[in-house]
Amino acid sequence: MRNDWLTILCAGILVFITAFCSSLMKEEYADISPQSMDQMVRSLSGQRLRSYAQELSSEKYAGRLSGTQEYKQAAEWVASFFEKWEMTPAGENGTYLQPFPNSHTIVFEGGELAYHYDPADLNKKKYYQYEQEYYPGSESGSGAITAEVVYVGYGIYAPELDYNDYEQVDVKGKIVFMEPGVPVSPKQDPEEYKKWSHYSLNLYKVKMAAAQGAKALLYHDLTVDPNTDYVKGFLVSQVGDVVANDIFSETGYTLPKVRETIQQELTPQSFETGKIFTMENLTEHHAKGTGYNVMGLIPGADPEMKDEVIIGAHLDHVGFCYEVMPGANDNASGMAVLLGVAKTLSQNPFKLGRSVLFVGFGGKEQGFLGSQAYLKDPVFPVTKTALFINLDIVGSGHILKVFGAQDFPDIWKAVRKTNRKEIGIQLIPVEFSSLERENSDADFFYKKKVPTLFFQVQDVPEYIHTTQDTADKLNPKLMQDLTHLLSFVILDFSQK
Protein backbone atom coordinates (compact mmCIF):
# COMPACT_ATOMS: atom_id res chain seq x y z
CA MET A 1 0.00 0.00 0.00
CA ARG A 2 2.69 2.38 1.08
CA ASN A 3 4.71 1.50 -2.08
CA ASP A 4 1.68 2.28 -4.27
CA TRP A 5 1.39 5.74 -2.73
CA LEU A 6 5.10 6.26 -3.25
CA THR A 7 4.79 5.22 -6.90
CA ILE A 8 1.89 7.60 -7.45
CA LEU A 9 3.77 10.40 -5.70
CA CYS A 10 6.90 9.78 -7.77
CA ALA A 11 4.88 9.62 -10.99
CA GLY A 12 3.16 12.84 -10.00
CA ILE A 13 6.46 14.60 -9.36
CA LEU A 14 7.80 13.25 -12.67
CA VAL A 15 4.77 14.59 -14.56
CA PHE A 16 5.17 17.91 -12.83
CA ILE A 17 8.90 18.13 -13.61
CA THR A 18 8.31 17.13 -17.24
CA ALA A 19 5.62 19.76 -17.61
CA PHE A 20 7.79 22.36 -15.92
CA CYS A 21 10.79 21.56 -18.11
CA SER A 22 8.83 21.58 -21.34
CA SER A 23 7.32 24.90 -20.36
CA LEU A 24 10.86 26.20 -20.18
CA MET A 25 11.59 24.89 -23.63
CA LYS A 26 10.46 26.85 -26.63
CA GLU A 27 7.07 25.88 -27.91
CA GLU A 28 5.87 25.73 -31.47
CA TYR A 29 4.11 28.90 -32.49
CA ALA A 30 1.12 26.91 -33.77
CA ASP A 31 0.49 25.36 -30.33
CA ILE A 32 0.19 28.65 -28.52
CA SER A 33 -3.17 29.85 -27.37
CA PRO A 34 -4.07 33.26 -28.75
CA GLN A 35 -4.44 34.60 -25.19
CA SER A 36 -0.88 33.87 -24.12
CA MET A 37 0.52 35.28 -27.36
CA ASP A 38 -1.58 38.34 -26.83
CA GLN A 39 -0.39 38.80 -23.25
CA MET A 40 3.22 38.32 -24.24
CA VAL A 41 3.09 40.98 -26.94
CA ARG A 42 1.05 43.48 -24.92
CA SER A 43 3.26 43.31 -21.83
CA LEU A 44 5.70 45.76 -23.43
CA SER A 45 4.73 49.23 -22.19
CA GLY A 46 4.97 52.69 -23.72
CA GLN A 47 6.76 53.94 -20.60
CA ARG A 48 9.56 51.46 -21.15
CA LEU A 49 9.84 52.60 -24.77
CA ARG A 50 10.00 56.23 -23.72
CA SER A 51 12.75 55.37 -21.22
CA TYR A 52 14.81 53.85 -24.08
CA ALA A 53 14.34 57.03 -26.12
CA GLN A 54 15.13 59.16 -23.07
CA GLU A 55 18.44 57.36 -22.56
CA LEU A 56 19.48 57.62 -26.21
CA SER A 57 18.62 61.33 -26.36
CA SER A 58 20.46 62.14 -23.12
CA GLU A 59 23.50 64.45 -22.97
CA LYS A 60 26.04 61.66 -22.60
CA TYR A 61 25.64 60.52 -26.22
CA ALA A 62 26.07 64.14 -27.44
CA GLY A 63 23.41 63.88 -30.14
CA ARG A 64 24.76 60.54 -31.50
CA LEU A 65 26.78 61.93 -34.41
CA SER A 66 27.91 58.83 -36.28
CA GLY A 67 31.69 58.53 -36.29
CA THR A 68 32.15 59.94 -32.77
CA GLN A 69 32.99 58.07 -29.55
CA GLU A 70 29.65 59.12 -28.09
CA TYR A 71 27.83 57.50 -30.99
CA LYS A 72 29.81 54.30 -30.45
CA GLN A 73 28.78 54.33 -26.79
CA ALA A 74 25.13 54.61 -27.84
CA ALA A 75 25.63 51.63 -30.18
CA GLU A 76 27.22 49.67 -27.34
CA TRP A 77 24.29 50.52 -25.08
CA VAL A 78 21.91 49.04 -27.69
CA ALA A 79 24.20 46.02 -28.11
CA SER A 80 24.10 45.41 -24.34
CA PHE A 81 20.36 44.72 -24.66
CA PHE A 82 20.88 42.40 -27.63
CA GLU A 83 23.37 40.51 -25.49
CA LYS A 84 21.12 40.46 -22.42
CA TRP A 85 18.28 39.07 -24.54
CA GLU A 86 20.64 36.41 -25.92
CA MET A 87 20.34 37.53 -29.50
CA THR A 88 23.01 36.30 -31.89
CA PRO A 89 25.73 38.87 -32.70
CA ALA A 90 25.48 39.67 -36.42
CA GLY A 91 28.28 42.23 -36.73
CA GLU A 92 31.99 41.88 -37.40
CA ASN A 93 34.07 39.15 -35.69
CA GLY A 94 31.29 37.82 -33.50
CA THR A 95 30.34 41.26 -32.17
CA TYR A 96 27.10 43.20 -32.56
CA LEU A 97 28.84 46.03 -34.43
CA GLN A 98 29.40 46.43 -38.16
CA PRO A 99 32.02 49.15 -38.76
CA PHE A 100 32.29 51.42 -41.81
CA PRO A 101 34.37 54.50 -42.71
CA ASN A 102 32.66 57.64 -41.43
CA SER A 103 34.34 61.05 -41.64
CA HIS A 104 32.67 63.69 -39.50
CA THR A 105 33.09 67.22 -38.18
CA ILE A 106 32.79 68.52 -34.63
CA VAL A 107 31.38 72.03 -34.21
CA PHE A 108 32.66 74.01 -31.22
CA GLU A 109 30.99 76.84 -29.42
CA GLY A 110 32.22 80.37 -29.93
CA GLY A 111 31.74 81.42 -33.56
CA GLU A 112 29.49 84.21 -34.77
CA LEU A 113 27.30 85.48 -37.54
CA ALA A 114 27.01 89.25 -37.87
CA TYR A 115 25.74 91.89 -40.30
CA HIS A 116 27.74 95.11 -40.77
CA TYR A 117 24.74 97.37 -41.22
CA ASP A 118 26.89 100.51 -41.64
CA PRO A 119 29.34 99.95 -44.51
CA ALA A 120 31.20 103.13 -43.43
CA ASP A 121 31.94 101.68 -40.01
CA LEU A 122 32.56 97.93 -39.95
CA ASN A 123 32.66 97.99 -36.15
CA LYS A 124 28.91 98.41 -36.12
CA LYS A 125 27.49 94.91 -36.18
CA LYS A 126 24.20 93.19 -35.66
CA TYR A 127 24.86 89.75 -34.13
CA TYR A 128 22.49 86.92 -34.89
CA GLN A 129 21.31 84.56 -32.21
CA TYR A 130 22.45 81.00 -32.30
CA GLU A 131 19.50 78.63 -32.77
CA GLN A 132 16.76 81.27 -33.15
CA GLU A 133 18.43 82.88 -36.17
CA TYR A 134 21.31 80.69 -37.30
CA TYR A 135 23.23 77.46 -36.77
CA PRO A 136 26.88 76.93 -37.71
CA GLY A 137 27.00 74.33 -40.51
CA SER A 138 27.63 70.78 -39.29
CA GLU A 139 30.31 70.24 -41.94
CA SER A 140 31.60 73.80 -42.03
CA GLY A 141 35.28 74.55 -42.41
CA SER A 142 36.94 76.39 -39.55
CA GLY A 143 37.82 80.07 -39.64
CA ALA A 144 36.39 83.54 -40.16
CA ILE A 145 35.50 85.73 -43.13
CA THR A 146 34.13 89.24 -43.64
CA ALA A 147 32.77 89.73 -47.15
CA GLU A 148 29.88 90.83 -49.33
CA VAL A 149 26.88 88.53 -49.64
CA VAL A 150 25.77 87.53 -53.13
CA TYR A 151 22.32 86.05 -53.65
CA VAL A 152 22.56 83.03 -55.96
CA GLY A 153 19.00 81.61 -56.02
CA TYR A 154 19.30 77.84 -55.64
CA GLY A 155 23.07 77.75 -56.25
CA ILE A 156 22.69 75.56 -59.35
CA TYR A 157 24.81 75.40 -62.49
CA ALA A 158 23.06 72.98 -64.87
CA PRO A 159 24.26 73.41 -68.49
CA GLU A 160 21.94 70.65 -69.77
CA LEU A 161 18.98 72.57 -68.36
CA ASP A 162 20.32 75.87 -69.64
CA TYR A 163 20.30 77.23 -66.11
CA ASN A 164 23.11 78.92 -64.19
CA ASP A 165 22.59 80.80 -60.92
CA TYR A 166 26.22 81.97 -61.07
CA GLU A 167 26.13 83.42 -64.57
CA GLN A 168 25.38 87.09 -63.84
CA VAL A 169 27.36 87.52 -60.64
CA ASP A 170 30.90 87.48 -59.36
CA VAL A 171 31.15 85.36 -56.21
CA LYS A 172 34.93 85.11 -55.95
CA GLY A 173 36.09 85.63 -52.37
CA LYS A 174 32.50 86.35 -51.29
CA ILE A 175 29.72 84.80 -49.25
CA VAL A 176 26.85 83.28 -51.25
CA PHE A 177 23.30 83.11 -49.95
CA MET A 178 21.03 80.41 -51.36
CA GLU A 179 17.82 78.45 -50.99
CA PRO A 180 17.57 74.73 -50.27
CA GLY A 181 16.01 72.48 -52.91
CA VAL A 182 15.44 73.22 -56.59
CA PRO A 183 13.08 75.61 -58.40
CA VAL A 184 10.82 72.79 -59.66
CA SER A 185 8.49 70.94 -57.30
CA PRO A 186 7.84 67.20 -57.65
CA LYS A 187 4.12 67.78 -57.09
CA GLN A 188 3.77 70.29 -59.94
CA ASP A 189 5.77 68.41 -62.51
CA PRO A 190 7.21 64.99 -61.56
CA GLU A 191 9.00 64.47 -64.89
CA GLU A 192 10.65 67.89 -64.81
CA TYR A 193 11.59 67.41 -61.16
CA LYS A 194 13.53 64.24 -62.00
CA LYS A 195 15.89 66.31 -64.14
CA TRP A 196 16.57 68.70 -61.27
CA SER A 197 16.46 66.55 -58.14
CA HIS A 198 20.18 65.73 -57.90
CA TYR A 199 20.95 69.46 -57.71
CA SER A 200 19.07 69.61 -54.42
CA LEU A 201 21.84 67.81 -52.50
CA ASN A 202 23.59 70.04 -49.97
CA LEU A 203 26.82 68.36 -50.93
CA TYR A 204 26.40 69.49 -54.53
CA LYS A 205 25.56 73.05 -53.50
CA VAL A 206 28.57 73.41 -51.21
CA LYS A 207 31.00 71.98 -53.77
CA MET A 208 29.62 74.11 -56.61
CA ALA A 209 29.79 77.31 -54.53
CA ALA A 210 33.40 76.54 -53.61
CA ALA A 211 34.24 75.68 -57.24
CA GLN A 212 32.85 79.06 -58.32
CA GLY A 213 35.35 80.73 -55.99
CA ALA A 214 33.00 81.65 -53.12
CA LYS A 215 34.54 81.47 -49.64
CA ALA A 216 31.41 80.81 -47.62
CA LEU A 217 27.73 79.92 -47.78
CA LEU A 218 24.66 81.13 -45.92
CA TYR A 219 22.08 78.44 -46.44
CA HIS A 220 18.43 79.42 -46.03
CA ASP A 221 17.39 76.43 -43.93
CA LEU A 222 17.38 76.81 -40.16
CA THR A 223 18.12 73.21 -39.19
CA VAL A 224 21.22 71.29 -38.22
CA ASP A 225 22.14 69.04 -41.11
CA PRO A 226 25.37 67.06 -41.52
CA ASN A 227 24.19 65.48 -44.79
CA THR A 228 26.83 67.26 -46.82
CA ASP A 229 30.60 67.20 -47.16
CA TYR A 230 33.48 69.07 -45.67
CA VAL A 231 35.34 71.43 -47.98
CA LYS A 232 38.51 72.62 -46.29
CA GLY A 233 38.40 76.32 -45.44
CA PHE A 234 34.86 76.79 -46.83
CA LEU A 235 32.46 78.14 -44.19
CA VAL A 236 28.79 77.22 -44.03
CA SER A 237 26.03 78.48 -41.74
CA GLN A 238 22.33 77.64 -41.77
CA VAL A 239 20.13 80.74 -41.48
CA GLY A 240 16.47 81.60 -41.03
CA ASP A 241 14.20 84.39 -42.24
CA VAL A 242 15.62 87.14 -39.99
CA VAL A 243 18.98 86.86 -41.75
CA ALA A 244 17.31 86.48 -45.16
CA ASN A 245 15.30 89.67 -44.61
CA ASP A 246 18.40 91.67 -43.63
CA ILE A 247 20.22 90.47 -46.75
CA PHE A 248 17.29 91.58 -48.94
CA SER A 249 16.50 94.82 -47.07
CA GLU A 250 16.83 98.01 -49.14
CA THR A 251 17.78 96.07 -52.26
CA GLY A 252 14.46 96.76 -53.95
CA TYR A 253 13.73 93.01 -53.98
CA THR A 254 11.93 90.66 -51.63
CA LEU A 255 12.96 87.06 -51.30
CA PRO A 256 9.46 85.53 -51.78
CA LYS A 257 8.96 87.55 -54.98
CA VAL A 258 12.39 86.70 -56.39
CA ARG A 259 11.93 83.01 -55.55
CA GLU A 260 8.55 83.00 -57.26
CA THR A 261 10.05 84.52 -60.40
CA ILE A 262 12.75 81.84 -60.54
CA GLN A 263 10.16 79.11 -60.09
CA GLN A 264 7.80 80.48 -62.70
CA GLU A 265 10.29 81.45 -65.38
CA LEU A 266 13.15 79.08 -64.55
CA THR A 267 15.57 81.93 -65.08
CA PRO A 268 18.20 82.89 -62.48
CA GLN A 269 17.67 86.12 -60.51
CA SER A 270 21.06 86.34 -58.79
CA PHE A 271 22.43 89.71 -57.67
CA GLU A 272 25.14 91.27 -55.53
CA THR A 273 23.41 92.55 -52.40
CA GLY A 274 26.11 94.93 -51.19
CA LYS A 275 25.56 93.59 -47.66
CA ILE A 276 28.70 92.86 -45.65
CA PHE A 277 28.61 89.93 -43.22
CA THR A 278 31.08 88.29 -40.87
CA MET A 279 30.96 84.55 -40.39
CA GLU A 280 33.10 82.66 -37.92
CA ASN A 281 32.82 78.93 -37.29
CA LEU A 282 35.09 76.81 -35.14
CA THR A 283 35.17 73.19 -36.23
CA GLU A 284 37.40 70.14 -36.28
CA HIS A 285 37.21 67.72 -39.16
CA HIS A 286 37.93 64.00 -38.69
CA ALA A 287 38.58 62.47 -42.09
CA LYS A 288 39.18 59.00 -40.67
CA GLY A 289 36.25 58.29 -38.38
CA THR A 290 34.45 54.97 -37.97
CA GLY A 291 30.68 54.55 -37.83
CA TYR A 292 28.82 51.43 -36.76
CA ASN A 293 25.63 49.56 -37.46
CA VAL A 294 24.46 47.61 -34.41
CA MET A 295 23.01 44.24 -35.36
CA GLY A 296 21.37 41.42 -33.39
CA LEU A 297 19.71 38.32 -34.81
CA ILE A 298 16.98 35.98 -33.62
CA PRO A 299 17.71 32.84 -35.68
CA GLY A 300 14.72 31.16 -37.28
CA ALA A 301 13.94 27.58 -36.30
CA ASP A 302 12.45 26.44 -39.59
CA PRO A 303 15.17 25.13 -41.95
CA GLU A 304 12.71 25.46 -44.87
CA MET A 305 12.68 29.21 -44.45
CA LYS A 306 15.90 30.48 -45.89
CA ASP A 307 15.01 34.14 -46.09
CA GLU A 308 14.74 36.63 -43.27
CA VAL A 309 12.94 39.69 -41.93
CA ILE A 310 14.88 42.85 -41.10
CA ILE A 311 13.64 45.57 -38.83
CA GLY A 312 15.78 48.69 -39.02
CA ALA A 313 15.96 52.19 -37.59
CA HIS A 314 18.73 54.75 -37.68
CA LEU A 315 20.43 55.14 -34.34
CA ASP A 316 22.48 58.19 -35.22
CA HIS A 317 21.46 61.84 -35.11
CA VAL A 318 23.00 65.21 -36.01
CA GLY A 319 25.24 65.52 -32.97
CA PHE A 320 26.41 68.52 -31.09
CA CYS A 321 26.19 72.04 -32.47
CA TYR A 322 27.04 74.26 -29.48
CA GLU A 323 24.38 72.26 -27.68
CA VAL A 324 23.24 68.65 -27.84
CA MET A 325 20.65 67.94 -30.51
CA PRO A 326 18.74 65.26 -28.57
CA GLY A 327 17.02 63.58 -31.52
CA ALA A 328 14.36 61.94 -29.35
CA ASN A 329 11.78 61.67 -32.11
CA ASP A 330 14.48 61.53 -34.83
CA ASN A 331 15.21 58.72 -34.30
CA ALA A 332 15.50 57.53 -30.72
CA SER A 333 11.76 56.84 -31.11
CA GLY A 334 12.41 54.37 -33.94
CA MET A 335 15.24 52.71 -32.01
CA ALA A 336 12.98 52.44 -28.94
CA VAL A 337 10.31 50.65 -30.96
CA LEU A 338 12.99 48.43 -32.51
CA LEU A 339 14.25 47.54 -29.01
CA GLY A 340 10.68 46.90 -27.86
CA VAL A 341 10.04 44.46 -30.71
CA ALA A 342 13.46 42.83 -30.15
CA LYS A 343 12.69 42.35 -26.46
CA THR A 344 9.25 40.91 -27.19
CA LEU A 345 10.40 38.49 -29.87
CA SER A 346 13.64 37.39 -28.20
CA GLN A 347 11.99 36.85 -24.82
CA ASN A 348 8.94 35.09 -26.21
CA PRO A 349 8.62 31.38 -25.46
CA PHE A 350 7.74 30.45 -29.04
CA LYS A 351 10.01 29.67 -31.94
CA LEU A 352 10.13 31.98 -34.91
CA GLY A 353 10.14 30.19 -38.25
CA ARG A 354 12.08 32.86 -40.10
CA SER A 355 15.14 34.63 -38.80
CA VAL A 356 14.60 38.21 -37.71
CA LEU A 357 17.51 40.65 -37.88
CA PHE A 358 17.47 43.93 -35.93
CA VAL A 359 19.67 46.73 -37.28
CA GLY A 360 20.34 50.14 -35.76
CA PHE A 361 21.91 52.05 -38.64
CA GLY A 362 24.71 54.58 -38.23
CA GLY A 363 25.53 57.48 -40.54
CA LYS A 364 21.99 58.06 -41.83
CA GLU A 365 22.17 61.80 -41.17
CA GLN A 366 25.48 62.01 -43.04
CA GLY A 367 24.07 60.45 -46.20
CA PHE A 368 22.74 56.95 -45.38
CA LEU A 369 26.22 55.54 -44.79
CA GLY A 370 25.06 52.69 -42.52
CA SER A 371 22.30 51.29 -44.72
CA GLN A 372 24.63 51.39 -47.71
CA ALA A 373 27.39 49.66 -45.70
CA TYR A 374 24.87 46.98 -44.72
CA LEU A 375 23.70 46.43 -48.30
CA LYS A 376 27.31 46.07 -49.41
CA ASP A 377 28.00 43.44 -46.78
CA PRO A 378 24.66 41.97 -45.66
CA VAL A 379 24.11 39.26 -43.04
CA PHE A 380 21.94 37.35 -45.54
CA PRO A 381 22.07 37.88 -49.30
CA VAL A 382 19.88 40.91 -50.03
CA THR A 383 17.70 38.79 -52.34
CA LYS A 384 16.87 36.66 -49.29
CA THR A 385 15.32 39.53 -47.37
CA ALA A 386 11.62 38.71 -47.36
CA LEU A 387 10.64 41.94 -45.64
CA PHE A 388 12.38 45.11 -44.48
CA ILE A 389 10.60 47.32 -41.97
CA ASN A 390 12.11 50.76 -41.45
CA LEU A 391 11.25 53.10 -38.58
CA ASP A 392 12.21 56.77 -38.77
CA ILE A 393 10.47 59.42 -36.62
CA VAL A 394 7.63 57.40 -35.12
CA GLY A 395 7.15 59.12 -31.76
CA SER A 396 4.69 62.02 -32.14
CA GLY A 397 1.04 62.63 -32.97
CA HIS A 398 -1.38 59.75 -33.54
CA ILE A 399 -1.14 58.92 -37.22
CA LEU A 400 1.53 57.01 -39.13
CA LYS A 401 2.29 56.94 -42.81
CA VAL A 402 3.29 53.58 -44.26
CA PHE A 403 5.48 54.09 -47.32
CA GLY A 404 5.55 51.04 -49.56
CA ALA A 405 2.01 50.00 -48.63
CA GLN A 406 0.86 50.48 -52.21
CA ASP A 407 3.99 48.94 -53.71
CA PHE A 408 3.64 45.71 -51.69
CA PRO A 409 -0.13 45.29 -51.37
CA ASP A 410 -0.09 41.73 -49.99
CA ILE A 411 2.16 42.63 -47.08
CA TRP A 412 0.21 45.82 -46.49
CA LYS A 413 -3.08 43.89 -46.42
CA ALA A 414 -1.70 41.59 -43.72
CA VAL A 415 -0.44 44.55 -41.68
CA ARG A 416 -3.76 46.36 -42.03
CA LYS A 417 -5.71 43.28 -41.01
CA THR A 418 -3.58 42.75 -37.90
CA ASN A 419 -3.80 46.44 -37.07
CA ARG A 420 -7.61 46.47 -37.35
CA LYS A 421 -7.98 43.31 -35.31
CA GLU A 422 -5.41 43.94 -32.58
CA ILE A 423 -4.37 47.59 -32.32
CA GLY A 424 -6.24 50.27 -34.31
CA ILE A 425 -3.53 52.85 -35.11
CA GLN A 426 -4.53 55.27 -37.84
CA LEU A 427 -2.29 54.17 -40.73
CA ILE A 428 -2.06 55.94 -44.07
CA PRO A 429 -0.82 53.84 -47.01
CA VAL A 430 1.62 55.72 -49.25
CA GLU A 431 3.38 54.79 -52.44
CA PHE A 432 7.17 54.75 -52.35
CA SER A 433 8.12 57.83 -54.26
CA SER A 434 10.80 56.97 -56.76
CA LEU A 435 10.81 60.59 -57.88
CA GLU A 436 12.32 62.29 -54.91
CA ARG A 437 15.93 61.75 -54.04
CA GLU A 438 16.59 59.29 -51.23
CA ASN A 439 15.43 60.53 -47.87
CA SER A 440 15.41 57.38 -45.78
CA ASP A 441 17.35 54.15 -45.29
CA ALA A 442 14.27 52.42 -46.67
CA ASP A 443 14.84 53.89 -50.16
CA PHE A 444 18.06 51.93 -50.55
CA PHE A 445 16.40 48.60 -49.72
CA TYR A 446 13.44 49.45 -51.94
CA LYS A 447 15.81 50.19 -54.82
CA LYS A 448 17.33 46.71 -54.33
CA LYS A 449 13.81 45.32 -54.80
CA VAL A 450 13.44 44.26 -51.17
CA PRO A 451 9.77 44.30 -50.05
CA THR A 452 9.89 47.35 -47.80
CA LEU A 453 7.53 49.14 -45.45
CA PHE A 454 8.65 52.43 -43.94
CA PHE A 455 6.79 53.89 -40.96
CA GLN A 456 6.89 57.62 -40.17
CA VAL A 457 4.54 60.03 -38.41
CA GLN A 458 2.10 61.80 -40.69
CA ASP A 459 3.22 65.29 -39.69
CA VAL A 460 6.95 65.48 -39.13
CA PRO A 461 7.28 68.17 -36.42
CA GLU A 462 9.12 71.45 -37.03
CA TYR A 463 11.48 70.79 -34.10
CA ILE A 464 13.32 67.96 -35.93
CA HIS A 465 17.09 68.70 -36.08
CA THR A 466 16.91 71.37 -33.37
CA THR A 467 17.59 71.39 -29.62
CA GLN A 468 13.84 71.02 -29.08
CA ASP A 469 13.52 67.37 -30.17
CA THR A 470 13.28 66.08 -26.60
CA ALA A 471 11.83 62.91 -25.05
CA ASP A 472 9.12 64.73 -23.08
CA LYS A 473 7.37 65.47 -26.40
CA LEU A 474 7.09 61.79 -27.36
CA ASN A 475 3.77 59.99 -27.41
CA PRO A 476 4.39 56.69 -25.57
CA LYS A 477 0.98 55.34 -26.61
CA LEU A 478 1.78 55.58 -30.32
CA MET A 479 5.18 53.93 -29.80
CA GLN A 480 3.58 51.21 -27.72
CA ASP A 481 0.86 50.56 -30.29
CA LEU A 482 3.42 50.38 -33.09
CA THR A 483 5.63 48.01 -31.08
CA HIS A 484 2.68 45.71 -30.42
CA LEU A 485 1.57 45.86 -34.04
CA LEU A 486 5.02 45.02 -35.42
CA SER A 487 5.45 42.21 -32.89
CA PHE A 488 2.19 40.64 -34.03
CA VAL A 489 3.04 41.23 -37.69
CA ILE A 490 6.50 39.69 -37.45
CA LEU A 491 5.35 36.74 -35.32
CA ASP A 492 2.80 36.04 -37.99
CA PHE A 493 5.05 36.77 -40.96
CA SER A 494 7.90 34.71 -39.63
CA GLN A 495 5.74 31.59 -39.96
CA LYS A 496 4.79 31.81 -43.63
**Residues binding Zn ion (CB under 5 A):** 330
Instruction: Output the smallest distance, CB 364 to Zn ion, in A.
Output: 7
Nearer to Zn ion, 277 or 361 (CB): 361
Shortest distance, position 266 Cβ to Zn ion, whole Å:
30
Cα–Cα distance measured from residue 484 to residue 343, given in angstroms and rounded to the nearest whole number: 11
CB of 363 to Zn ion, least distance (A): 12
CB of 295 closer than 8 Å to CB of 91: yes
Residue number with CB closer to Zn ion (332 or 453): 332
Nearest residue (CB) to Zn ion, 308 versus 330: 330
By C-beta, is 142 or 202 nearer to Zn ion? 202
Q: CB of 98: closest distance to Zn ion in angstroms?
A: 21
Distance CA 107, CA 90 (A): 33
**DSSP secondary structure of 243-290:** HHHHHHTTTT--HHHHHHHHHHH-----EEEEEEEEEEEEEEEETT-E
Is the Cβ of residue 280 or residue 392 nearer to Zn ion in the bound state? 392
Q: For 213, left (φ over 0), alpha (ψ -120 to 50), or beta?
A: left
Residue at shortest CB range from Zn ion: 330
Strands 88-89 and 290-298: antiparallel
Residue 311 and residue 489 in contact, taking contact as beta carbons nearer than 8 Å = no
What minimum distance in Å lies between the beta carbon of 465 and Zn ion? 6
Cβ–Cβ under 8 Å, residues 219 and 205: yes
**For residues 280 and 330, which CB has a smaller minimum distance to Zn ion in the complex?**
330
Q: Which residues pair with 143 in a beta bridge?
A: 281
Q: Report in angstroms how near the CB of residue 495 gets to Zn ion at its nearest.
A: 34
Nearest distance, CB of residue 279 and Zn ion, angstroms: 24
Distance CA 424, CA 238 (A): 40
Going by C-alpha positions, the residue among 154, 391, 113 that lies closest to residue 277 is 113
Residue closest to 292 by CA, chosen among 438, 101, 106: 101
Helix (H) or strand (E) holding 296: strand 290-298
CB of 15 to Zn ion, least distance (A): 57
Distance CA 221, CA 367 (A): 17
CB of 365 to Zn ion, least distance (A): 5
Q: Quick check: 116 and 124 in contact, CB under 8 A?
A: yes
Can you list the pairs that 259-264 forms with residues at least 24 positions away whose Cβ atoms lie under 8 Å?
259/153, 259/179, 262/153, 262/154, 262/183, 263/183, 263/184, 263/185
Is the Cβ of residue 104 or residue 351 nearer to Zn ion in the bound state?
104
List phi, psi (to 5°) of 414.
Answer: -65, -40
Q: Provide the H-helix boundaries in 43-106.
A: 46-56, 69-84
Q: How many Å apart are CA 475 and CA 19, to the nearest integer?
A: 41
> In the complex, what is the shortest distance from the CB of residue 330 to Zn ion, in angstroms, rounded to a whole number?
4
- C-beta of 64 vs 484, nearer to Zn ion: 64
DSSP class of residue 128 equals: P
3-state SS assignment for residue 311: strand
Nearer to Zn ion by Cβ, of 139 and 330: the residue is 330
* Closest distance of CB 463 from Zn ion, Å: 11
Indicate the residue among 165 and 330 with the shorter CB distance to Zn ion. 330
Q: Which is nearer to Zn ion, 373 or 491 (CB)?
A: 373
- DSSP classification of residue 139: T
